[in-house]
Structure 1
Amino acid sequence: MPKKVGSKWADWLTEALAVLKPPEKLTVSEWADKYRVLDSKTSAEPGLWSTDRTPYLRGIMDSFTDPIVEEVVFLKPTQVGGTECLNNMLGYVISQDPNPVMVVYPNEKLAQFTSENRLQPMVKLSPALESRFHENQSKDLELQFDGMYVVIAGAASPAGLSSLPARYLFMDEVDKYPAAAGKEADPRSLARERTNTFPTNKKIMQTSTPTLRTGPIWTAWESAHVQMEYYVPCPHCGEYQTLTFKRVIFDSKLDPEIIRSVSHYECVFCNGAIRDAHKPAMMRAGEWRDKNGKTARKRITGYWLNALYSPWIRFGDAAVKFLSSKKAGNEELQNFINSWLAEPWENTQIKLNSDKVLEKSSGYEEGVVPDRTIILTAGVDVQKDRMYYTIRAWGEDMTSHNIRHGVVETWPQIEDVMNISYLSRDGTEFFVNLCAVDSGYNADDTYDFCAKNAEWAVAIKGSNNPMPAKYKLTKIDREDRGLFGISLYMVDGGYYKDFIAGRLDRKSNEPGGWFVYEDCDEDYAEQVTAEQKVSEKRAGREIEVWRPKTSHADNHYLDCEVYAAFAADCVGIRYMRYEQPGEPPKPPEDKPVENKKYWLQGGNSWL
């Protein structure tokens, strides 16, 4: 009997200690791997959760437990596990750090459906969550747990958004939220106010597939303190890179099923063929980095993925979807851009394509100066480890021809390219009259270079906002480098992009055309047409601005051509006229000597 009493006492003490025991010190991904169970109704792979299946989600989930991070922005496509990422964070809070939670969906109907079919089944499938769930005290839109509640609201319901305080705020598919909650303000703003009670330890997570560039999730991504992308190593050369759709190689003429099976991805560094079988190992070895290669998170950290990273999507699937969407029209193409590439759809006013550039072949070979050229100008776009350049020949009416473009790695190489002579077909020699060099990335080295080569090079800085004039000259000093009175031109990039777009539309026989040399490479054509002019709202009014077609489009050659066009304007090409070389003077004809009498010969002279 005493033994039995002692046993009860021991059981009671064990239970009491279990209640007092602090929660395990786990990250969200570790908690999910240990406790999360996926439902067969809502998951393609039911059973125990494994972050190794979608390794890119580990960094996003674990940022939620990073004390530095207050807000997570996840710009996502479909089919990468984005919603489950949010659900794992919610499960972690219930199990590890009970505090008031608000979860917001686009409308109350979706909130009700998600609660019944995803959130409550998630709780009941996991013993770590079910043991804390007070089902009898809960409603579909207000779940009760030990020491906390979860309010589930629709973005269109101001009452639901302003009901209770919340330390944790989750907002799903924010681009589908209404602009206002009834007569109230923006739903996201109303929801954020619920976290004001927790000024020092609140956590906010918002995620969505994007719609427009002016939409909530894209705006949040652009304003995040750091934008992270998932870099994966090439299985052949080991170089890290992000996956972009333009590197997917496929033959559009093949049958769709063949495209699905034979398409591959081409490494941006070694051009090696990356197959679908390589993806799992690449994903496991990947890491989140910002554009400078740094991995540090900040208070508001943004994450971006496209569907190419998904273990459930083949490279060929993306190719087939693109081709079918393009054929179906804008509505389907927008769905591909938004839901597969996780990029915003543009309300396009002017859109160029690379085919139009390649059609503008002048018939001249690379390096040959076309007939009736007056001057040559150049543009240089400076990047971290390389410099892009273009050289353009200009004639009357600003008719222009690209005669050379390329990439170099050093400033001496730029000097070499700009200081050699270029010949026309009749042997006339031309040199670059003016080269405009971008100072946006490496200003000090650019200023040094332009000061050293002041007779033919000037530093410029592009402006994305409209300017009163096409360009403006300023003078700057760099006392620490002994440079004074450096010329720096501020250039209206939008104006010159309009100029290039307008000239590309001119017919071949029309004065003022914009041409490229024979057999121009496609990469140049793609970069020159990497941007489009779109309508955006600013301060309540519509404006038109140039934006990249996709977030990863290289536009270096377009910038070079903008700078070369500015350089031509700067030297006054608009007012120059071509002077036909005159015919060489004819040698004097031999004339018979007249039989004249001069004073030395006598005659009637005084001698």
Structure 2
Amino acid sequence: MSLEAWAAKHFYLSAESSYVEQEWRAWPFQRAIMAVMSNDDIREVDLKKSARVGYTKIILAKLAYNAHHKRRNQALWQPTDEDRDEFVKTELDPMLRDVAVMKDVFPAYMARHKDNTLQAKKFLGSMLHLRGGKAAKNYRRISVDDAILDEVDGFDADVEKEGDPFTLAAKRVEGATFPKIIIGSTPKLKGFSIIDTRFELADARFHFVIPCPSCGEAHPLTWGGKDESHGFKWSAKDPKTVRHLCPHCATLIDQGDYLRVCESGYWLSDDGLLLIDHAGVFRNAAGHVVPAPSHVAMHVWTAYSPAASWSDIVREFLAAMSKVAEGDMTKLKAFINTTLGEAYEQEVQRSDADELKQRAEPFPLQWVPRGGLMLLASVDGQDNRLEVTVKAYGRGCETWTIDHRILYGSPGEDEVWRELEEILFETEYPHAAGTTLRVHATAIDSGGHYTHAVYDFCAKHERRKVFAVKGASGKEKHIKNGAQKVDIDWRGRVRKRGVILWLVGTNLAKDLLYGRMQLERAGPGYVHLSRDHEDEFFKQMSGEVRRSRTTVRGEESRWTPIRKRVEAWDCAVYNLWLETHLELGRKPAKWWDELEARVQPAISDLFDTPPAQVSAPAEGPKPVVTKQGSKTSSGRIAPRRQAPSLASAEWAERL
């Protein structure tokens, strides 16, 4: 009995892990996948997939089929031990409960017994091992017939320097009469995707094709592109108009048309020489039955799923592209990975200092142009100085870098911290509307040799929204990548009200920053830079490049310095963390309206200065204002200044 036939007779979808609790009915494209998995002539099966194609349920059916029908030992690896535990609790245990025939081979079900744990399930005549994939020890001391690696792109490429996951798992099936390795995953980054590499190594690579309702020619469902003669097409940014264009006769079909012909579909190899029918039988181009290849790879994406709406796919894409327009590539990356089932191909990312300088604008430093409504500061510490960047934030996280200062002095001494206090808490920056702004919140890098000095400063000014941060590049999951208490008392215990160290997902933050710096038009996400910045500032802002490098976890793509000094770039990254922490990107329009009314109010009477008539001063000293009679960081007394006068007509128009 094949896996597909067994599942049709016995398998069941549990309420805890399915949209609808019901008996299993395989979708057309799933049948050959299941047949290939249960074909003893095929040793290796790779499935490069998107989300929502039912892969987890197929794996569950395979585990039950092996235990009940074939009585074969098997092992399943998830990316981590935590992933394994969640899989067992939410998927495997409910399946063992609801598939009635499993009680015939699993007497320990519902019993607290050594034969029923998160790490192993002992059936009559076979054993299922359940492991996390990131520890080399989890690949030892087991011998199985079937090895299954789930979401393999979440594994380390080199597991504790002992080899790649596939090689380690393959050792566990050596000596089996019918050895089989099944690898399935949603791909991630191009060049670093394990499933992508495995897919290319296969003897034959297959895609599911359907006959065109108009011309009868077979073709796969493809995403296509705006200028492609195939794939998804829609009009006027309306997802409801989406159709699929046949590459042979240019007929447009909707999802209903696809569902009517998908039963007649089959799997076709890339070279067109092999096909697989629903029963898993391999045939050549002439229709003759041929032996199955030893290593088979298959690709399927969300559009094939009857449970996914084509209009929702387009809607997801349009939402991702709206974020791209703001310099945020994360949603597009997720769309390519989890909806298209393809690896995200990231170009070598690098900004050029000369290009940044050419796009800089003629507004002076230490002055807030119209549109800037809130000031956020970031501080990078070195052994002999602190470097401070102040950015003005507006709607849609549009930013203006209005100040970058270097405070010379050892961070181990009080003087440099007093200067920092003056900038952060006393300095008032003139606004184009005639008001003034102070720094609202600050992030300070705690790395380096003066970590405790940073902690002391942050603890002292906690109520002024001063946060201690530290970069955590590598496998970060978010720009705001976690936090931990760091204050320890003399007994070695964490203080209840101690300083919190916030971790920054630096690679993700730099990806977002780089994307924003590529925007060509002012608006949400745009980064405005002043021409008054020194050349060194522009060099630092282009001082890193994203490239692959070897780490203890294997090859990884990271942002890497190409020059010694990149403090301005680091400060910009900490500003992004601060923006994320304060959730500025999620603030509603009403919140920005209220802030704008306070910072750049509309004219209330004839004696008010029209906001459009207040612009950057053409000449004169830097318009930094501190408390009356206080010293600036240069040691001068800075009196309160009037609003700056009108600049050139050209710049006034740009405001």
Say if 1:184 and 1:267 are closer, same or farther in 2 by CA, change over 3 A: same
Show the 5 A alignment for 1:400-479. Answer: none
2:102 alignment counterpart: 129
Query: Per the alignment, in what secondary structure is the counterpart of residue 17 of structure 2?
Result: coil
Structure 1 residues 28-81: Cα deviation after superposition (integer angstroms, max 9, x where no partner): 111010000101111123210001xx1101111101232321111000000011
SS state of the match for residue 298, structure 1?
coil
Aligned partner of 1:341 in structure 2 is 340
Amino acid corresponding to residue 129 of structure 1 in structure 2? M
Residue identity matched to 1:262: T
Write the letter of the residue equivalent to 2:78.
Answer: Y
1:219 aligned partner: 197
Distance 1:326 1:181, change over 3 A: same
1:537 shift after superposition: 8.0
> Hey, what's the Cα distance between the residues in 1 that align with 2:241 and 2:237?
13
Matched letter for residue 124 of structure 1? R
Task: Give the structure 1 partner of residue 228 of structure 2.
Answer: none
Q: Say if 1:175 and 1:217, in contact at 8 Å, map to a contact too.
A: yes
Deviation, 1:179, is: 2.9
| Structure 1 residue 147, shift from structure 2 partner | 0.7
Q: Does structure 2 retain, via aligned residues, the 8 Å contact 1:279–1:311?
A: no
1:95 Cα shift?
Answer: 1.2
Note the C-alpha offset of 1:183: 5.3
Mapping for residues 459-538 of structure 1, pairs under 5 Å: none
- Aligned partner of 1:29 in structure 2 is 4
Q: Structure 2 vs 1, CA of residues 542 and 94 (structure 1 numbering), >3 Å: closer, same or farther? A: closer
Amino acid at match of 1:347: Q
Larger radius of gyration: 1
Q: What is the letter of the counterpart of residue 263 of structure 1?
A: V
Alignment partner of 1:319 is 2:298: no
What are the ranges of 5 or more consecutive residues in structure 2 without an aligned counterpart?
A: 225-230, 276-281, 283-291, 351-545, 558-655
In the alignment, the residues of structure 2 paired with residue 243 and residue 337 of structure 1 have an alpha-carbon distance, to the nearest angstrom, of 15
Q: Are 2:50 and 1:77 aligned?
A: yes
Matched, 1:249 2:233: yes
| Contact 2:206–2:267 (Cα < 8 Å) also in 1 | yes
Query: In 2, are the aligned partners of 1:231 and 1:242 still within 8 Å (CA)?
Result: yes
Asked whether the 8 Å contact 1:349–1:535 carries over to 2, the reply is yes
Partner-residue secondary structure (3-state), 2:16: coil
Q: Residues 188 and 251 from structure 1, CA distance in 2 versus in 1: closer, same or farther, beyond 3 angstroms? A: same
Taking only aligned residues, the RMSD between alpha carbons, in angstroms, comes to 2.4
1:213, CA displacement in angstroms? 2.5
Would the aligned equivalents of 2:208 and 2:265 in 1 still touch at CA under 8 Å? yes
C-alpha distance in structure 1 between counterparts of 2:138 and 2:70, whole Å: 23
1:27–1:182 distance in 2 versus 1, CA, 3 Å: same
Could you tell me which of 114, 121, 144 is aligned with 1:166?
A: 144
The residue number in structure 1 matching 2:14 is 39
Could you report, residue by residue, the CA deviation over 1:514-558 in whole angstroms, capped at 9, with x for unpaired residues? xxxxxxxxxxxxxxxxxxxx97789x9999xxxxxxxxxxxxxxx
TM-score by length of 1: 0.51
Amino acid of the structure 2 residue aligned with 1:156: K
Question: What letter corresponds to residue 264 of structure 2 in structure 1?
Answer: A
Cross-structure match for 2:296: 301
Letter in structure 2 aligned against 1:169: A
Q: Which amino acid aligns with 1:154?
A: G
Quick check: 1:201 aligned with 2:178? Answer: yes
1:107 aligns to 2:77 (yes or no): no
Deviations 1:420-471 (A, max 9, x none): xxxxxxxxxxxxxxxxxxxxxxxxxxxxxxxxxxxxxxxxxxxxxxxxxxxx
Identify the residue that residue 116 of structure 1 maps to in structure 2: 89
Query: In the aligned structure 1, how far is the partner of 2:40 from the partner of 2:71?
Result: 16
Q: 1:358 corresponds to which residue?
A: none
SS where residue 75 of structure 2 aligns?
strand
Q: Which amino acid aligns with 2:95?
A: M
**Contact in 2 for aligned 1:348/1:535 (Cα 8 Å):** no
* Residue 210 (structure 1) aligned to one of 187, 193, 214: 187
Residues 212 and 218 of structure 1 are in contact (CA less than 8 Å); yes or no, is this contact kept in structure 2? Answer: no
CA distance in 2, matches of 1:92, 1:74: 19
2:123 match: 145
Q: State the match for 1:175 in structure 2.
A: 153
- How far, CA to CA, are the matches of 2:23 and 2:122 in structure 1? 24
Q: How many residues align?
A: 328
Give the AA of the match of 2:310.
Answer: F
Contact 1:265 1:315 in 2 (8 A): no
Task: Give the corresponding residue for 1:277.
Answer: 256
Displacement of 1:159 after TM fit? Answer: 2.5
Match of 1:310 in 2: 305
Which digits, 9 at most, give the CA deviation of each residue in 1:72-101, with x for residues without a partner? 100000001111122221111011111211
Structure 2: how far apart are the matches of 1:79 and 1:140? 25
**Which amino acid in the other structure matches residue 211 of structure 1?**
K
Please state whether the residue corresponding to 1:269 is helix, strand or coil: coil
Whether the 8 Å CA contact 1:39–1:47 is kept in 2: the answer is yes
* CA displacement 1:150-201 (0-9 Å, x = unmatched): 0000012322221311111111000001234345433332222111131x41
Question: Residues 344 and 183 from structure 1, CA distance in 2 versus in 1: closer, same or farther, beyond 3 angstroms?
Answer: closer
TM-superposed CA distance for 1:228, in Å, is 0.7
Structure 2 match to 1:379: none
Question: 8 Å contact 1:231–1:240 — kept in the other structure?
Answer: yes
Q: Deviations over 1:248-303 (max 9, x none)?
A: 1112444xxxx2x3221122222222111122222211101112322233100000
Displacement after TM superposition at 1:237 (Å): 1.8
- Check whether the contact 2:157–2:194 (CA below 8 A) recurs between aligned residues: no
**Distance across 1 between alignment mates of 2:130 and 2:555:** 35
1:123: Cα distance to partner? 1.4
223-232 vs 38-47, which deviates more? 38-47
Cα displacement string for residues 349-406 of structure 1 (whole angstroms, at most 9, x for unaligned residues): 499xxxxxxxxxxxxxxxxxxxxxxxxxxxxxxxxxxxxxxxxxxxxxxxxxxxxxxx
Letter in 1 for 2:339: W
Equivalence for 1:12:
none
The 3-state SS of whatever aligns with 1:245 is: coil
Could you tell me whether the CA contact under 8 Å between 2:13 and 2:95 is conserved in 1? yes
CA contact (8 A) 2:235 2:241 kept: no
Q: 1:537 to 1:268 in 2, by over 3 A?
A: farther
Rounded Cα–Cα distance in structure 1 between residues aligned with 2:556 and 2:46: 27
2:190 and 2:346 in contact (8 A); partners too: no
**Which ranges in structure 1 are unaligned for 5 or more consecutive residues?**
1-25, 352-533, 544-607
Look up the SS of the partner of 1:278 in the other structure. helix
